[in-house]
Structure 1
Amino acid sequence: MAIQTNINESLSSVFIEKYKQNEYASLARAVADMCQQALSKNGIPHKTQSRAKEPESLRKKIEQRERKNGRYRTLEDVHHDIVDLAGARIILERWEDRHFVKEIINETFKVQKEELKNEKSGYEAVHYRVYPKQNGWQCGPHTTEEEPLVEIQVQSWYMAQWANVEHDAQYKTSKGPSQAMSNSLDLWLQLSKLTEFLAEQTKAIKAKQDAKDKQKFRGRKHVGNHLDKWFSDDGNAADWAKNQKEMGSSTALEIYLDARGWKTPGSLNRLLYEHFGPEAQDEYSDVAAQYAGIDLNRVIYLMDRVVLNCGENCSGAFEIPNNHEVHAYKIQVILSTFIWMNRLFLPTYGWQRLFTRIEDQKTVREGILLLGMSARQNFAEESSLADDEVSKLNRLWDWFYESRDRPIMLAFTMSNQGAIRDVPKEKTDLRNALRPLIAALGRGMT
């Protein structure tokens, strides 16, 4: 039965007298806490607030509604009309997250109504009226069988700041805001909207750039163009790096990046910023000294730093194939090493001379002569090696593994860690690398 008031008794006074602000505050706080937990769990930057309507603010709102719509007949009519007695606010750092917030609110509460606010005053937000999914709340002049409503306001950070001031100007002065205050609020609102628009535009531009950075290079020319632009743009490379004019093989770099899973502008930029900054100049000089007789360029230096300067992480840098018999794998790695060296290091005689001046000529000569046989280059698909051939291969493998010549270390380590060249498709490069070396070793040159 509806609760009737005496004809001379103020309905607003009765409602306010029965209004349990503390319980509404507890309800609002509980809803805000539920929002806080759900949003934080989903990684959405935000701030939550809660409040129960102040009795004086409630009285003014009841009087405004009665002037506009006529007198209320019962206390239940007041309660059903004033839906923001308990309120929670979600202030978003990123306004575009409001779509995720909608999903979370619908999962967390029973939503009675969703309303997009776009008022003449300039206020923009999304308001939800929700029922908490729990029982036992008793607020105001209704029973525990009637679930209490809570209003959740979802606002941007900029709109929340403006709305606080605008609300105080509208409701906390008897005459309303002055003209000067109204003008100031209008200007503030426009600036807030402009700031919000610019923030969203900036994020959209960044998202577009991030997507571009994750797209794979289309080929060696794309890699080469990217390198040229990076070194020419101001603020990227240090002066010492710009003075190193030789770029190196973009084809070799493309193959290497692909083997590492780094064949994107974003991944390459990370490496370039790390190894061509001001603090790396002394390091470059130290590395250059270890490539005596070979023209050290930017690509070689970059690969050297990543491959030979990774410490304990080197062993896990690549996924080593496990579907090859060990001797076949060793042949592939060593042949790949020669292709890498022929691609990377100029002049050619500079790196080949490393093999003709070593002390253990026999091991290297026998091993390379063995690998120079075309049948052995196709070993993975053919017959097994003889015992003496296995011995020669193992000795050559150990020699590569223990070599301290920087160019050999770089090419061998790259191949051994998974960046294996496609030997069948690169036979011409392999022949160009091996023939003069085999000829020199065959003559027993030292």
Structure 2
Amino acid sequence: MDDRSKADSVISSFFNQYVEKISFYKSLLVAVENECHFTLAEQEISHFTESRVKDHQSLWKKLNQRKGNAQYSSVEDIEDDIVDVCGVRIIFHYPTDQHEIKVLLESIFDIQDVKCHSGGQEHTQNQPIGEWGYQLPLPDYIGTHYRGFVKPKIFQEHFEDLSAADRRFAAGTMIEIQVRSILDDIWARYAHSIYKSEVPTHESQGAMLRKLRVGLEGVREVTIEMQKFAVREEEESNRKFETNDEVGTCFRKLIKAECGVEYIDHRGVSSEALRYLLESIDKSTPGSLHKLIKSYNFCDGPDSKYEEIRRLYGPVEFNIVLYLIDRVLLCHNSQDEAILEKEAVPAKRKMQILMSTILWMDKLLRSSFVWKLKLASTPSQKNPMKGLEWLSRARQHGMLTKGNELDNKDKAILDELWNLFENHDQRPIKLAFAMSSRGMIRDVVRERQEVNRIIEELIVTPNFRSQKKVTWMEYK
């Protein structure tokens, strides 16, 4: 048998086998396309997929065109030469996704070969250069073609109804996966229709294709710039705040944009408190702050939630930061409500929380004389003066810095003061305690002198002076 006759025999054998297996190829490609789609969709990659088994008439024509140059001597020669019998195409929308698509394809296929097409040339390289793919105008087809076999473990569910022989056949079938952008797909479809036409290509068609490529490259340039802008915006949205000023500036912009509210933090304390809050609930980014603001209604009409809570603070001067902190920490059924730990709080932690509470009351609650009167007006049997005097004494400093232990009498004093703050019914005091007990603890060691100053001012308020002062010796 001469070479031509042998090639004809091999082609016939391959073609007959192919025709018998067309339905199998189609069912295999359904599984492959679905797996590709679901894998990319899980990673939120915007795309669409399509698949096709080569038409048997088209295959016959291609075999006869190639048999002279290919010199087919076996079925394996044909399988090595014609690798697009079964194909899946993935068209992606965003340039940066092509790199992740490569990784995902490698997770479900045993990739045997990668060809990158650009400018009418085929390159043996793994990816287009650069994060954004090809950015220079190119005159011809652009796309990346992967060729490989399915991984049986990944497709086990799809293959469970197949016979052992069919499973082996499926695992040994070469799949071509074409990956290209939606812009390159537009060009390729028009070019393919001209290339496949039985009518000779007209010069004007080539000119139109060149114009189409230039136009698409202009669109590509704009979309890349838009995606770069989106990436920068996302990075900025996820960047953690570093200073109080950053928090305050961002809050003012967001509250103005979302609610039309002008807010100025004259003393900077509200910005500081807001930063502490965001850090305590793990939302210390512009994006998280934006979502938090959108969760609440800042309208201050007569029947609004804002006005309802504002009345609970009167006559303390109220503002939108106080309102936000109150909604997060004190309002029931709030989606951001923090849960106060129920287990026993160590003595050192109690001291830190109480000192932090005192600092927040003095710094955040404007018209501070009001909350001092509210605290001093506590019923006499629960008067905080004794505990506050104890808390301000220098001896307690060692508890915070050196870990000194408290004796039972000290613990009793501390517990009484703790219970008073924990169960206080005045909203401003409840808020300050909630702030500290739920993670917004100030650096009380560094601010110890400030704590003592506030306690001294508290003790000389009229309501405190009217009560019997107990000396330290009487307390012991």
TM-score range, shorter chain: 0.7 to 0.9
Q: Cα deviation per residue 1:177-215 (whole Å; 9 max; x = unaligned)?
A: 556655555444444444444444333322222223333
Where does residue 297 of structure 1 map in the other structure? 319
Gaps spanning 5+ residues in structure 2: where? 121-138, 153-163, 469-476
1:340 deviates by 0.7
Partner of 1:155: 180
Matches within 5 A, 1:144-293: 147-171=172-196, 173-176=197-200, 182=206, 185-231=209-255, 236-239=257-260, 241-242=261-262, 249=269, 250-275=271-296, 282-293=304-315
After TM superposition, give the deviation of residue 391 of structure 1 in Å.
4.5
Name the aligned partner's letter for residue 450 of structure 2: D
Aligned to 2:103: 103
CA shift, 1:86, in A, is 2.0
Aligned to 2:89: 89
1: CA distance, partners of 2:464 / 2:404: 26
Change (3 A) 1:147 1:29: same
CA RMSD of aligned residues (A): 4.0
Amino acid of the residue matched to residue 305 of structure 1?
Answer: R
Amino acid across the alignment from 2:175: V
Q: Which amino acid aligns with 1:443?
A: R
- Work out whether residues 51 and 88 of structure 1, in 8 Å CA contact, stay in contact via their aligned partners in 2: yes
- Quote how far apart the aligned CAs of 1:237 are: 3.7
CA distance in 1, matches of 2:342, 2:42: 38
Match among 330, 342, 360 for residue 308 of structure 1: 330
Q: Distance in 2 between matches of 1:427 and 1:40?
A: 55
Matches of 2:372 and 2:171, distance apart in 1: 89
Question: Structure 2 vs 1, CA of residues 204 and 368 (structure 1 numbering), >3 Å: closer, same or farther?
Answer: same
The answer to whether the Cα contact below 8 Å between 1:400 and 1:412 also exists between their aligned partners in 2 is: yes
How has the CA–CA distance of structure 1 residues 332 and 133 changed in structure 2, closer, same or farther, with 3 Å as cutoff?
closer
TM-superposition CA deviations, 1:94-150 (whole Å, max 9, x none):
4433323333434433333210011445321111222345684699xxxx7995433
Task: Tell me the residue number matched to 2:123.
Answer: none
Shifted more, 340-349 versus 312-321: the winner is: 312-321
SS for the counterpart of 1:410 is: helix
Structure 1, unaligned stretches of length 5 or more? none
Moved more, 261-270 or 36-45: 36-45
Deviations 1:62-118 (A, max 9, x none): 46657xx75856575555432212222223344433323333434433333210011
Name the counterpart of 1:51.
52
Aligned-partner Cα distance in 2 for 1:306–1:316 = 7
Relative to structure 1, the CA distance from residue 80 to residue 222 in structure 2 (aligned partners, 3 Å threshold; closer, same or farther) is closer
Contact 1:336–1:421 (Cα < 8 Å) also in 2:
yes
Contact 2:84–2:175 under 8 Å retained in 1: yes
Matched, 1:350 2:351: no
Distance 2:6 2:387 in 1: 111
Quick check: 2:328–2:338 contact (8 Å CA) kept in 1? no
Paired letter, 2:146: Y
Contact 1:22 1:52 in 2 (8 A): no
Matches within 5 A, 1:311-330: 311=333, 316-317=338-339, 325=346, 327-330=347-350
Alignment CA distance shift 1:31-1:304 (3 Å): closer
User: Which residues in structure 2 correspond to 1:384-423 (within 5 Å)?
Assistant: 384-387=406-409, 390-423=411-444
Alpha carbons 1:48, 1:89 under 8 Å: kept: yes
Aligned-pair CA distance for 1:151: 1.9
1:296 match: secondary structure: coil
| TM-score of the pair, normalised by structure 2 | 0.75
CA distance in 1 between counterparts of 2:62 and 2:355 reads: 85
C-alpha distance in structure 1 between counterparts of 2:175 and 2:165, whole Å: 15
Q: How far, CA to CA, are the matches of 1:11 and 1:75 in structure 2?
A: 6
Give the alignment's TM-score, normalised by structure 1.
0.79
CA distances 1:325-351 after superposition (whole Å, capped 9, x unpaired): 3x4433332222111101101232122
Asked whether the 8 Å contact 2:244–2:268 carries over to 1, the reply is no
Q: Deviations over 1:206-251 (max 9, x none)?
A: 222222333332322333333344456xxx1423x22677685123
Give, in whole Å, the separation in 2 of the partners of 1:113 and 1:200: 28
Question: Is residue 131–residue 147 contact of structure 1 (8 Å, CA) maintained in 2?
Answer: yes
Give, as a single letter, the amino acid of the residue that structure 2 aligns with 1:47.
F
Structure showing greater relative contact order (alpha-carbon pairs closer than 8 Å, 6 or more residues apart): 1
Amino acid at match of 2:374: L
1:183/1:286 CA distance change after superposition, 3 Å: farther
* C-alpha spacing 1:186/1:15, structure 2 compared with 1 (3 Å): farther
1:304, distance to aligned residue in structure 2 (A):
1.7
- In structure 2, the residue matched to 1:116 is 116
Tell me by how many angstroms 1:6 deviates. Answer: 8.6
Q: Distance in 1 between matches of 2:294 and 2:106?
A: 45
Letter in structure 2 aligned against 1:306: V
* Cα distance in 2 for residues equivalent to 1:145 and 1:346: 75
Query: How many Å separate the matches in 1 of 2:143 and 2:184?
Result: 8
Query: One-letter code of the match for 2:358?
Result: F
Percent identity, aligned pairs only, is 26
Q: State how far apart, in whole Å, the 1-side matches of 2:82 and 2:24 are.
A: 16
After TM superposition, give the deviation of residue 37 of structure 1 in Å. Answer: 5.3
Look up the SS of the partner of 1:428 in the other structure: helix
Task: Judge conservation of contact 1:244–1:298 (CA < 8 Å) in 2.
Answer: no
Show the counterpart of 2:133.
Answer: none
- Tell me, yes or no, if the aligned pair for 2:329 and 2:337 is still in contact at 8 Å: no
**Structure 2 CA distance, aligned partners of 1:63 and 1:278?**
77
Partners of 2:278 and 2:171 in 1: how far apart? 64
Corresponding residue SS for 2:451: helix
Distance 1:404-1:176 versus aligned 2 partners, 3 A rule: farther
Which residue identity lines up with residue 125 of structure 1 in the other structure?
Answer: G
- Look up the equivalent residue of 2:226 and give its one-letter code: T
243-252 vs 151-160, greater mean Cα deviation: 243-252
Change (3 A) 1:303 1:119: same
Q: Is residue 363 of structure 1 aligned with residue 364 of structure 2?
A: no
The alpha-carbon deviation at position 275 of structure 1 amounts to: 3.7
